[in-house]
Structure 1
Amino acid sequence: MDASNQTQTVVKSSRLKSLVWNDFERVKKGDVMVAICKHCKKKLSASATSGTSHLKNHLNRCRKRQTRELAEQLILVREKQRGGTINLENLKFDDFGPIDFKFDERTLLNLKFDQERSRYDLARMIILHEYPLSMVEHVGFRRFVSNLQPSFQLMSCDDVKSDCLQIYGKEKQKVYEMLDKVPGRLSLTADMWTSYQDHGYLCLTAHYFDETWVLQKKILNFVMVDPHSEQSLAEVINTCLMDWDIDRKLFSVTFDKFFSNDVVFRTRERLSQSRLLPNNGLLFHVRCATTILSLIVQDMLEALNEVTHKIRESVRFVRSSDTVQQSFNEIAQRLIGDSQRGLCLDCPTQWNATYAMLEAALGYKDVFSHLQQCDLGYTLAPSDIEWERASTVCSYLKLFVEVANAFTGVKDPTANIYFPELCDINLQLIERCKSEDSFIKSMALKMKSRFDTYWSICSLVLAIAAILDPRFKMKLVEYYYPQIYGPSDALERITEVSNGIKDLYHEYAISSTMSSFDHGLACDVRSSNGINGVLPITNNDTRDRLSGFDKFLHENSDNQQVKSELDKYLEEPVFPRNVDFDILNWWKVNAPKYPILSLMARDVLGIPMSTVEFDSVFNIGERLLDPYRSSLEPDILQALVCTHDWLQKEVEECGPIPSSSAMPLCITSS
């Protein structure tokens, strides 16, 4: 028979029991049985020996079938909202308007609704953008979601809280595994926060360099503590360290002003007993450099409180009415001519704003004196002595503003930048303590006493970090110390710093050597395994037994006059100072040249010398949780704060949030 005359016969048989045949027609084309998909009309084999597995696989991939099912679901939901019912067996899509079956794969995926996935995305959204948990119960949100996706089962506040805790658990495991793979040691910052109910919260943040020498920060804990119990604080810190299993990798902890030395001692004592800290924990204790600036500034402003009050009220008086402002401007025009600077009021909790107010007012001090003579209502003009004291304090504040700006000039400052700035402050305080003005001298002595307490704790780690800057090395210490300590004591202090960095390097060298020995021994064991794991006796055993001798030679290398990497580094000329110098890139490039010293540099430069975020460096208020966060239970608060920090990379990858919709951080300063 000619092929053109062949006919198709639909075969109906009671033997077609499989449900798959609901979506196929079994047709006989000549002598061949063919299964034709009712949705896409594709032809597949339908012979008795073919089975039905290939037909099921096709249905799972058939886009038109998926589209029809989605359309049926949408129609059912639509009719349910209208209060009607539909029999899908008699469904005619023409009754509901045109339905386009030409969807691409992306559209199909978007049309598929997944309740669990949507719940997960909602919880992540709340964490990422710090929305209140209760938003899922807001009428407006519920109406919006119902219209957007009627199939979504609305959640309660407890439901979303549970989802957030689950996400926290999963993300915590990821961070745990990440910290375990950190190539070097890590350092922590310990901050205290206060809620509106006066509850204390400890925030622990890990700082470290990854394998590409990029500085990373992760908030590890945000836990409620008793800030008045030193023993309790130390126990909480140690518990957090063990929970994350980072006590063995810890280098230092930078504490803010709320932690006493006793808390530090208790924390360090356990780690020292376990011999987990490098150099016997000599560099473990670090104090926040930004905090010491803030405390010294507060001492200055407290001493100048009466004068600052007069100047602040004087500015308010001038700006109180147009008449006074006009009179003030006329006097200023006669005395100082045109001035581009104007008066400004400060925010008492932002000390750089107070500096700006004082600096601006000092330019109009003669104008204020004449205004008092012209306007009987103005009685707060400072005296000449008070203006002089304000000028002295303002010069102090200018230095401190410049230093604070140097600390915040980069988003993630490395430890090497702090030493020269703090040395300059030290020299200024030494000079002011010699003042013949009793007011200035008394204020300077108080500030110097506070600074000396900080310097006694942090000077060594500050100096070592500066030495590891190839632009400075030991030369910067040798430059500043004679000015700070005087010629007679400077040599001893310089020797202390030199011995400190040598001891630290010696420990890294031994640790690196032992790691190499352990790795080599493990390789020998793996390569020489005999039958059933029994090691054959070879000459390698003699070499392994002498590994202790190799360690002995390394520890006594000084006797053999072998120069260490540190000696070679310090003997080389300093690198030219350049504003574009990237210290991390320098050490990354020179790591093959200084394999041991670069390991030490990575850990030291990663020490956070400040616990304060760069946008809060001028804030002299306490760190206070906002009212909403203060109302949360401790477990969910920790989950939200930590997970928000861990998911920030997603926000960065998606680009900045528009200012109109951006939410403030969950923890704010006031």
Structure 2
Amino acid sequence: MSSDEPIIDLDTNNQKPVTVEESMADKVDKGKENTPTNRKIFIVGDHFPKVEGAKKTKCKYCGTLMSSNTRNGTSALLSHLTNGETIGSLVYEYIREWGINNVFTVTVDNASSNDGAIRFLRRMLKGPNDILGCQYLHLRCCAHIINLVVRDGLEEEFDSITRIRGAVTYVRSSPTRYKTFKDCVARATIECKQKPCMDVDTRWNSTYLMLETIVKYEQAFDRLYMIDSNYGAHFRSEVTDDCEGSTRKRKRTVKVIGAPSESDWETARNMIEYLKIFSDVTTKISGTKYVTLNTFFSEFVKMQATITRMGLSMDEKKKNMATSMKTKFDKYWEDIDHMNFLLYVAVVLDPRFKLQYIRFCIETIYGKNYEKGKQILEKVEKTLQELFNHYKDKLEKNKVQNKQVGVSSDMSSSFGDATIDLEIEFDKFDSANQEMKSEVDIYLADGKEKRDDNFDFGVVESKRSQISYIV
């Protein structure tokens, strides 16, 4: 996209895991810096200055008046800081402060407060500098959606994962236990040098890395179970839900008892096969040193094909896992009305793929005669044409006056010449008045460029000046 229309990334998956409160709190109580807790103190007054002559405070971002003597202390004020209007106000203030006039998209994760922030920003950013009425402003973070999709699938194997996680926790909980485990590894003649790693149960990719490493030590854990009586007794844990609301299938407290069984290890191996595909996709689309927007669609197709293949498996566990994942997948990527078609347009603007690649993938997923596939293709072409017309009008706006002067000059020179060639002038007249194809039509009709890792996107600029402006 154009360099003067930046993409603002509010996605917490590409940054350190910091809460909104932490990002807004920039002061620490220096007097308590060396206390045992050593925790940050949020200076509410920085965000809610008191209103003179009243027992109220005023949010410096949106101007909302709030009580300053609430019984809940600062909890109500901090809650206000995390609602959509406040977040949108804060982002808008920074946009103005940085002198950004054109905002194309804002990338956010799947939080309801972010939806409110986008609605606020859309209202504030509409104007002479907006891009197609800010209709493409909201871009959901693809990596975050993948996280939600895979986590729902992992819930189907909750017991197996929890027992394996418990095994890792046990051997890493003390030097003595780890030494005993290493002895078991040596007796089982396991060559792997990787240390069993713990996962974070809210980050599925860490669960994948844990399973990938731990399955190599299956025989060592079987030996540990036979020689260490404390190992078997360790597997009594309470697992609490992690605030995903109604999307979680487990109740708030679930007891999982027992060490990993042969069935658990087999389940882990089966999951690794599929989790690797999703892990590779996440890594690819989360890159920071190369363009990722045009690579997403092919990865999207790979994920959908993977889920479909799982659903066709004879293994009942894989089927259940695929069903859960497809439900979440369809929630975000099957509703045409809620898709951001810039993800598709980016592929079309890659001269190595163009619209033919989109058509091929759509037919692969939905079939040639499926109505939804046709609707997606029509919407992609419509979006591309709208963007082209927007940038074309923008580029030609400053040329109108010069063009009128040029036409006037041509007319006077032509009819002022006594030796006018009527056939040449007719050709000029005819070409100027006939309906010409746009650069979009010509671009799509041209052949595709050769797929090469060293491909230079400068080839687009050399051939299609207005298309290159969109790119």
User: Is 2:444 the partner of 1:591?
Assistant: no
Task: Determine if contact 2:184/2:220 at 8 Å carries over to the other structure.
Answer: no
- Which of 163, 180, 196 matches 1:310? 163
- Which of 125, 132, 138 matches 1:285? 138
* Counterpart in the other structure of 1:432: 310
Give the alignment of 1:300-379 within 5 angstroms: 300-317=153-170, 320-330=177-187, 332-333=188-189, 339-340=191-192, 342-348=194-200, 351-369=204-222, 371-373=224-226, 375-379=228-232
Q: 1:388 to 1:323 in 2, by over 3 A?
A: closer
Which amino acid is 2:294 matched to?
N
C-alpha deviation, 1:339, in angstroms: 3.2
Runs of 4+ with deviation above 6 angstroms:
192-197, 222-225
Q: Distance in 1 between matches of 2:218 and 2:340?
A: 40
TM-score with structure 2 length normalisation? 0.65
* Counterpart in the other structure of 2:269: 391
C-alpha deviation, 1:361, in angstroms: 2.3
- Which of 471, 475, 481 matches 2:356? 475
1:134-175: per-residue Cα shift (whole Å, max 9, x none)? xxxxxxxxxxxxxxxxxxxxxxxxxxxxxxxxxxxxxxxxxx
Q: Distance in 2 between matches of 1:386 and 1:560?
A: 71
Task: Determine if contact 2:168/2:198 at 8 Å carries over to the other structure.
Answer: no
Which amino acid is 1:253 matched to?
V
- Which of 421, 424, 448 matches 2:326? 448
- Structure scoring higher RCO (CA < 8 A, sep ≥ 6) equals 1
Q: Distance in 2 between matches of 1:392 and 1:515?
A: 61
- Which of 21, 24, 27 matches 1:201? 24
C-alpha deviation, 1:600, in angstroms: 0.7
Bigger radius of gyration: 1
C-alpha deviation, 1:598, in angstroms: 0.5
Q: Distance in 1 between matches of 2:25 and 2:448?
A: 41
Q: Cα RMSD between the aligned structures?
A: 3.8
Give the alignment of 1:120-519 within 5 angstroms: 184-191=4-11, 198=21, 201=24, 226-247=80-101, 249-258=102-111, 259-272=113-126, 274=127, 276-317=129-170, 320-330=177-187, 332-333=188-189, 339-340=191-192, 342-348=194-200, 351-369=204-222, 371-373=224-226, 375-379=228-232, 380-409=258-287, 411-435=289-313, 439-455=317-333, 456=335, 457-458=338-339, 460-487=341-368, 488-489=370-371, 490-517=373-400
Task: Determine if contact 1:278/1:507 at 8 Å carries over to the other structure.
Answer: yes
1:114-138: per-residue Cα shift (whole Å, max 9, x none)? xxxxxxxxxxxxxxxxxxxxxxxxx
Task: Determine if contact 2:168/2:196 at 8 Å carries over to the other structure.
Answer: yes
Q: Distance in 1 between matches of 2:230 and 2:468?
A: 67
* Counterpart in the other structure of 1:576: 450
Identical positions, percent? 26
SS in 2 for 1:573: coil
C-alpha deviation, 1:390, in angstroms: 2.0
Which amino acid is 1:499 matched to?
K
1:296-349: per-residue Cα shift (whole Å, max 9, x none)? 34434454443223223324555615344323432x23xxxx534545222427
1:548-579: per-residue Cα shift (whole Å, max 9, x none)? xxxxxxxxx99944222222222222222122
Task: Determine if contact 1:252/1:286 at 8 Å carries over to the other structure.
Answer: yes
Structure 2 unaligned regions, length at least 5? 27-46, 48-59, 62-77, 233-257, 413-430
Q: Distance in 1 between matches of 2:216 and 2:385?
A: 52
1:100-119: per-residue Cα shift (whole Å, max 9, x none)? xxxxxxxxxxxxxxxxxxxx
* Counterpart in the other structure of 2:55: none
Q: 1:480 to 1:568 in 2, by over 3 A?
A: same
Task: Determine if contact 2:181/2:221 at 8 Å carries over to the other structure.
Answer: no
Give the alignment of 1:50-89 within 5 angstroms: none
Task: Determine if contact 1:315/1:343 at 8 Å carries over to the other structure.
Answer: no
Task: Determine if contact 1:277/1:284 at 8 Å carries over to the other structure.
Answer: no
* Counterpart in the other structure of 1:54: none
Which amino acid is 2:285 matched to?
F
Which amino acid is 1:262 matched to?
G
Task: Determine if contact 2:104/2:136 at 8 Å carries over to the other structure.
Answer: yes
